[in-house]
Amino acid sequence: MISERKQQKEKKTKSLSNFIFIFLACSFLGVLIYSLFFSDFLRVNRIILEGIKELDEKKVNKSLFSYISGSYLKILPRNSLIAVSKGELRKNLMRDFKKIKGIKIEKKFPDAIKIKITERKSLILWCSGGPCYIIDENGYAYSIIDLNSEEVRQNKLVKLVDNSAKPISLGEKVLEREFVESISNIRERIKEELKFDTEEEFSTQARVSGDIKIKINDGFTLFIDARQPLEVTFSTLKIFLENEDIKKKTKDLEYVDLKVEGKVYYKFKDEEKEKTEEKEVKN
């Protein structure tokens, strides 16, 4: 009888101990979950961006905070440092900002995310007999693009129209790397070295030709061969434009043709077309 009472007492004591242990464990787990996912201590308040050169940093920041706003299933805050998915952040950024080539994401305890962005070195828009594509630095058409989209405006893309209207496919290698580099640098070099602004749209008769037509704002049309070294092309053009006779009539130029290396063919607007002779200027 005494033994049974003792066993019952031990059983109750053990049950109470188990209950206390489970209660404390659950309480600890609850506090831990709250601290990790719901406490303000681990809420992302800072995003540290590195590597941005041409992208709009404010827009990237705004997009990042929009990705982590709200909650999962209306319960779990998305801006908890623990809950933030690096994979989702990377996926969303590379979807919305086509100029991004690579992303490295690091969580910084207790309230920050550090993101290092690698931008694509050169990008152009290619339009030919169908939708327009973004061409990466290796010459591949990797994304169909809406010309009126925010992506085009914010990424400062050069638009190149193929007048042959030969359609291309997503993922196709459209241009050689050297061609892409030349085209993406031309507008900047014209602005910096010659102090001319160009229209946004360049054109070519066919991608295999390498010939590019560039319209100077309120000025002449420039014809170049993108396969030729840019240094030679710009050196020839500078020598031509610095000629005293040309300087006086720069505004009257109709076109300047640099497709032949080391030579310039040009025409003035006031010349009769049928009487015009192409003039050659050598370095």
Q: What is the pLDDT of residues 125-171, one digit of tens each?
A: 999 988 899 888 889 888 888 887 766 766 677 889 999 988 888 88
Q: Percentage of the chain with pLDDT > 90?
A: 22
Identical fold for domains 44-119 and 124-275, yes or no, is no
- Asked if pLDDT for residue 229 goes beyond 90, the answer is no
Domain map (residue ranges) of the chain: 2-38, 44-119, 124-275
Tell me, yes or no, if the pTM score tops 0.85.
no
Query: Higher-confidence residue: 33 or 134?
Result: 134
Q: Domain 44-119 classified CATH 3.30.750.24?
A: no
CATH code given to domain 124-275: 3.40.50
Least confident of 16-20, 102-106, 180-184, 198-202: 16-20
Q: Note the pLDDT of residue 95.
A: 85
The 3-class secondary structure across the chain, one letter per residue, is CHHHHHHHHHHHHHHHHHHHHHHHHHHHHHHHHHHHHHCHHHECCEEEEECCCCCCHHHHHHHHHHHCCCEECCCEECCECCCCCHHHHHHHHHHHCCCEEEEEEEEECCCEEEEEEEECCCCEEEECCCCEEEECCCCEEEEEECCCCHHHHHHCCEEEEECCCCCCCCCCECCCHHHHHHHHHHHHHHHHHHCCCECCEEEECCCCCCEEEEEECCCCEEEEECCCCHHHHHHHHHHHHCCHHHHHCHHHEEEEECCCCCCCEEEECCCCHHHCCCCCCCC
Supply the pLDDT for residue 151: 65
Report the mean per-residue pLDDT for the chain.
81
Selection from 51-60, 77-86, 139-148, 265-274 with the highest mean pLDDT = 51-60
* 213 pLDDT tier (thresholds 50, 70, 90): very high
Higher pLDDT, 14 or 159: 159
